[in-house]
Amino acid sequence: MVRWVSGYVVMVRCGLVALRKYGSFIDNVRLYVRGGSGGMGLLRLGGEGGKGGDVWIVAQDGVTLKKIKDKYPDKRFVAGVGANSSIRSLKGTKGTDYEIHAPVGISITNDDGEVIGELNKKGDRLIVANGGRGGSFATNFLPSKGQHRIVRMDLKLVADLGLVGFPNAGKSSLLSQLSHAKPKIADYPFTTMRPEIGKLMYRDYKQVSVADLPGLIEGAHLNKGMGHKFLKHVERTKQLIFVVDVTGFQLSNKTPSRSAFEAIQLLTKELELYKVELLSKPALLAINKMDLENAEEKYNELMQQLQQPQAFYHLLPEDMAPLKPVQFNHIIPVSASTKYGIEELKNCIRKSLDDQNDLENEQYRLEKLQSLHSNTFKFVTDILMVYLMELVTVLIKK
């Protein structure tokens, strides 16, 4: 228990260091948005006022939440008022819409945490505040005010794969080796920050995006270290790559030393406690630093433990054994420093993603086929019903 308390203190200190390192990184912003009020109707001629403008959030390249915060320090966005009805224009014109440009990959929620929508690609747009109705006969020619509320923009990484691992597992080095052949760090809001995205280029020009997701330590699900700041970015990756040091790791000399097996299970538990659905994603395991002394012996020991992981759960801290071990699609020994196993890892990444795409395409095909059968059955049933009704009518007339 004392060791755990000591570890907790060190974790908090580590988190403060991480905050200093990533202090300028912003991945959520709260905004006040208000639609424009409607215009007045013209009672004596039955004129209708213009609708108030709407507030939209539009996904664009080259935008970051930090730029939004710096450019609009008051974070208030109000659309234009609808024009009043007049003798010259009985139908008032609509108020000017307000567009807030935001980065790709954001989730938009209200102040109660309810999801309003997501913007996952350039050009996606979403209304966050509707303009008020213009005055008309139905409203006694009085306009209504525009919708107003607080919304929150949360940036969540969009990538094919996310690298997850504890400090010093070699994720950044591995990413640089996987993507070193081209200028790989993408023109993305995270550029020069963490997390980072690298691009894998294959011979057939297929590109795969891989994200380095740092900040995980024991207790990350409780928001220790960078905690939720980076755990949430795992949510939008298609697959996960667990990266572990074959010799294990130790956060500091005041924290327990963990074996590679313990690291895998603790990573699994952190993801499980944050959001259990994350463990339904396909996963690969990269066992790094195979160039170190005794690495082969440690690797063989780990592979034996992974065959029956529950038999070794007694090695884990109390209440930190995962409910269910991760079934890895591929387990690949690698060395980021010597490039050992890098090509095999790239091939396994490609195969795993292709298998997932094939499965999703087959599921989509089956769903469409089932829908077609249902629609066909309904069409035939409708025809039969019409025929029967006509037959009954003829029989009644006779």
**Average pLDDT, stretch 57-80?**
92
Q: Kindly state the average pLDDT of the residues 352-381.
A: 78
Query: Closest Cα partner for 213 from 338, 27, 9, 7?
Result: 27
**Amino acid type, 349:** I
One-letter amino acid identity for 205? Y
The CATH number of residue 247's host domain is: 3.40.50.300
Higher pLDDT pick, 111 / 56 = 56
Mean of the per-residue pLDDT values of the chain: 82
pLDDT of residue 380: 75
| The predicted structure's pLDDT at residue 169 | 83
Q: What is the CATH number of the domain that holds 126?
A: 2.70.210.12
Task: Say what the pLDDT of residue 284 is.
Answer: 96
**Per-residue pLDDT tens over the stretch 28-38:** 899 999 999 99
Residues 129 and 245 in one domain: no
Structure confidence at residue 54 (pLDDT): 98
Is pLDDT of 187 > 70?
A: no
CA–CA dist 152, 155 (Å, integer) = 10
- For the chain, give the percent of residues with pLDDT over 70: 83
* Confidence grade of residue 12 (pLDDT, cut at 50, 70, 90): very low
Model pLDDT for residues 116-145, shown as the tens digit of each residue: 999 988 999 999 999 999 999 999 999 999
Whole-angstrom Cα distance, residue 262 to residue 252? 16
Q: Would you give the DSSP letter of residue 45?
A: G
Let me know if residue 361 belongs to a domain: no
Note whether 212 and 281 are same-domain residues.
yes
Q: What is the mean pLDDT of residues 67-73?
A: 92
Q: How many domains does the chain have?
A: 2
The DSSP string of 176-196 is HHHTTTS--S-SSTTTTSSSE
User: How much is the pLDDT for 145?
Assistant: 97
Confidence band for 1, pLDDT divided at 50, 70 and 90: very low
Query: What does the chain come to in residues?
Result: 398
pLDDT (tens digit per residue) in 279-304: 899 999 999 999 999 999 999 999 99
Q: 332: closest CA among 289, 292, 286, 288?
A: 286
pLDDT score recorded for residue 374: 73
**pLDDT, position 17:** 36
My answer on whether 83 and 178 are in the same domain is no
For residue 8, tell me if it sits in a domain: no
Looking at the structure, tell me whether residues 181 and 300 fall in a common domain.
yes
The position carrying tokens 């970015």 is 233
pLDDT of residue 6: 32
Residue-wise pLDDT for 189-223, tens only, equals 333 345 677 888 888 888 888 888 765 655 444 44
Task: Note whether residue 235 is domain-resident.
Answer: yes
Check whether residue 89 and residue 185 sit in a common domain. Answer: no
The residue type found at 60 is Q
65 with 210, same domain: the answer is: no
Tell me which amino acid residue 389 is: M
> What is the mean pLDDT of the segment spanning 154-173?
82
Q: Do 219 and 283 have their domain in common?
A: yes
Q: What percent of the chain has pLDDT over 90?
A: 45
Q: What does pTM read for this prediction?
A: 0.64
pLDDT computed for residue 379 by the predictor: 72
Domain that holds residue 39: 28-155
Distance CA 389, CA 188 (A): 63
Determine the pLDDT at residue 53: 97
Kindly tell me if the per-residue pLDDT of 310 is higher than 60.
Answer: yes
User: How far is 260 from 305, CA to CA, in rounded Å?
Assistant: 10
